[in-house]
Amino acid sequence: MSLLIHILLFQTGTTMFRTSFLLLAFMAAATSIASTDKQTYVVHMDKARITALHLALGDSKKWHEAVVDSIIELSTQDGEEVTSPPQLLYTYETAMTGFAAKLSIKQLQALEKVEGFLSAVPDELQSLHTTHSPQFLGLHKGKGLWSTHNLATDVIIGIIDSGIWPEHVSFHDWGMSPVPSKWKGACEEGTKFTSSNCNKKLIGAKAFFKGYEARAGRINETVDYRSARDSQGHGTHTASTAAGDMVAGASLFGMAKGSASGMMYTSRIAAYKVCYIQGCANSDILAAIDQAVSDGVDILSLSLGGASRPYYSDSLAIASFGAVQNGVLVSCSAGNSGPSSSTVSNSAPWIMTIAASSLDRSFPTIVKLGNGETYHGASLYSGKPTHKLLLAYGETAGSQGAEYCTLGTLSPDLIKGKIVVCERGINGRVQKGEQVRMAGGAGMLLLNTEDQGEELIADPHILPATSLGASAAKSIIKYASSRNPTASIVFQGTVYGNPAPVMAAFSSRGPASEGPYVIKPDVTAPGVNILAAWPPTVSPTRLNTDNRSVLFNIVSGTSMSCPHVSGLAALLKAVHKDWSPAAIKSALMTTAYTLDNKRASISDMGSGGSPATPFACGSGHVNPEKASNPGLIYDITTEDYLNHLCSLNYTSSQIALLSRGISFTCPNDTLHLQPGDLNYPSLAVLFNGNAQNNSATYKRTVTNVGQPTSTYVAQVQEPDGVSVMVEPSVLKFRKFNQRLSYKVSFVAMGAAAASVPSSSFGSLVWVSKKHRVRSPIAISWQ
């Protein structure tokens, strides 16, 4: 019997002697030899049992101390000699219930016997996944969501990332009102960070590194900070994208010049640093989420993630569920593993999952070859153009592997004064340019592979260089093998008016490998070539050989699209203070658009420019002004999410990991529960490709948040091979906040269905005089 049970019994007066004996055993065990085979685990505990323990202990001892005592007692019973008890790193009590600790194998086995134990997951390192953005999104100062009244509302955005550079002009608090009374957080001191670094804009900052240091060793404070100060730039960039103040005259080397602004530039920022040189430890991320919810944030923004896994073993999904239960919207990046299918991360239905697409702004270059052929590329290099120079590639540039321009492969004798052709892969884009410059090269042509297609990412190269698409790459490689090949590069600066948005090839794709019954990602937002704040001590390339200092940098990734939506969610929270996270998410999804600025379908660089499907762009590109008045919303309660887990055949113990002590059991008639009935704003249907008859019927409920008296008519674009019927096809509302339900049926059309590809897509749109409430449909044949 564990000490956890013994203490509960002791409080009822039944086993005083036994408990005292165990406490003495614990004290004796503390003098024996330590076990060294320890690993960090994130431990999930049953909240109901922990609450009961907490009440039983009173003020005499914390519940986690009692659990640690139990682990020691049980492990010593099994013969382990322990001088150091389990090393407790964090306790989690708000967004989830549990703790992170370093445990030996014996201690882990003992923990599994402790009353209230649910699961222990080995800690892992996750990876970190604007001037023109507000205008592109339709936000204008003094109007709509950017009206003075709306911007005066206090909304707190928590940024969980690599920290923040607090002195940056984007985080000044000029003219801001006092910190809201609901804020319960702190400004934690640490390396080169004091409480005075916070203000009425940056109202809180804290670093979490116990999990990281347990795995990677103590942080080297010559290259990073054991504080909330940002040494990488990523967190500063994302924080300013979501909520940075409006700064006139921002640019990178004169490019993308304009007023830089966060999406809700008057909101407060709370910075939680969890990411360091080698990555972001799960245990630290969970501690940050738990702290942020307790502190009182309204929105959480996480531009990070890892591999998909079942929700019950996904610590980020579990903690995010706890945040949503507390009314906090959680916005996460979809990942940068596109264009391969089923690569999307952060796919739990209570998380808002953000893909990345382009603005209508570009930084074009012109490459002219000696044979007269001309190609267009992209670059943020700010120097002079290169005149006609000899090209070097592969064998004419160095040893084996020189085509990738990796460390030690380029020969100074072969490339000095030449433009070197480098293929993407193995090392980073700007790292290739560094190798070329170190070997004496005068410039670089950076060539896409077939996977990157025609997507052009602009980088602030340290030498004259440009990226080029896959079609140009083939011609350039062929020409580079000819006798005395030459090329020149012209840099054209900043150009506006390109077709946009266009889906980024790197943006991770659905369908989700876990939870394919909802379409993921949810929406797309600007994530290509985004200008935002940057620490002056971090070079724009983050290369050690780059000594340039900038206040703003241009970066691409779903890490950049995520804080756009986080800031937009804050704007909607300011307008609709009583909306749930699901309601805000619904509004952003059902009002998203699928046509670009040229009135053509949003195209996808990951599929050669073909129209983007919902597995690339979700419901479409966010449209914040429309989202502020969506007409109808699809709301989802905690019980709805838990019933969804029942429909996925989760066990009671698996559901308990997420329910956090809520008294909940799956309905007896689980056979009537189906995953597709979750009241989600999109419709994902899985059909058996080998079955003779495929059909499904889903139920949805919409809430009227538009005109009190209004009528909506269903318009359906049927996916190939599938018949869709909506019943009723007309919804008549008579009052504000009225809820009406409908059913939508999907039937595969026999031989026609057999001829369609593995997925087909359509949409259901509820149309009134003032609103269009759109839900994408995705049919997957398995």
Tokens in use for 417?
A: 């004064």
CA-based R_g, the chain, Å: 28
The terminus-to-terminus CA distance of the chain in angstroms comes to 48
Query: What is the residue-wise DSSP string for 430-452?
Result: HHHHHHHHHTT-SEEEEE--TTT
Tokens in use for 676?
A: 């597709």
Query: What is the residue-wise DSSP string for 547-594?
Result: ----SEEEE-SHHHHHHHHHHHHHHHHHH-TT--HHHHHHHHHHT-B-
Judge whether 101 and 292 are in contact, CB under 8 Å.
no
Tokens in use for 441?
A: 């090269």
Contacts of 245 (CB under 8 A, 6+ apart): 169, 170, 171, 172, 174, 201, 261, 262, 265, 266
- Identify the residue whose tokens are 């804290």: 206
Residue 540: asked if its preceding bond is cis (omega within 30°), the reply is: no
Of 75, 337, 362, 559, which one is the catalytic site residue? 559
Task: Map residue 173 onto helix, strand or coil.
Answer: coil
Of 161, 360, 546, 596, which one is the catalytic site residue? 161
What's the CA gap between 243 and 178, in Å, rounded? 17
Judge whether 129 and 355 are in contact, CB under 8 Å.
no
Angle at which helix 558-575 crosses helix 234-243, to 10 degrees, equals 30
Q: DSSP state, 232?
A: S
Q: DSSP state, 474?
A: H
Q: State the CB neighbour count (10 A cutoff) for residue 687.
A: 22
Tokens in use for 230?
A: 């940002």
> Residue 713 forms beta bridges with which residues?
730, 767
- Identify the residue whose tokens are 């008859």: 693
Find how far residue 120's CA is from the centre of its chain.
24
559 a catalytic residue: yes
What's the CA gap between 594 and 385, in Å, rounded? 38
Angle at which helix 315-325 crosses helix 638-647, to 10 degrees, equals 150
Query: What is the residue-wise DSSP string for 51-82?
Result: HHHHHHHTTSS-HHHHHHHHHHHHHHHTT---
Of 129, 234, 564, 576, which one is the catalytic site residue? 234
Counting Cα atoms < 13 Å in the Cβ hemisphere of 456 gives: 24
CB burial readout 244-265, b (16+ within 10 A) else e: bbebeebbbbebbbbebbbbbb
What's the CA gap between 266 and 245, in Å, rounded? 7
What's the CA gap between 620 and 560, in Å, rounded? 17
Tokens in use for 80?
A: 């382990």
User: 732 exposed, middle or buried (CB, 10 Å; 0-12, 13-18, 19+)?
Assistant: exposed
Q: State the CB neighbour count (10 A cutoff) for residue 211.
A: 26
- Identify the residue whose tokens are 């990602």: 521
Q: State the CB neighbour count (10 A cutoff) for residue 12.
A: 8
Q: Which residues are catalytic?
A: 161, 234, 559
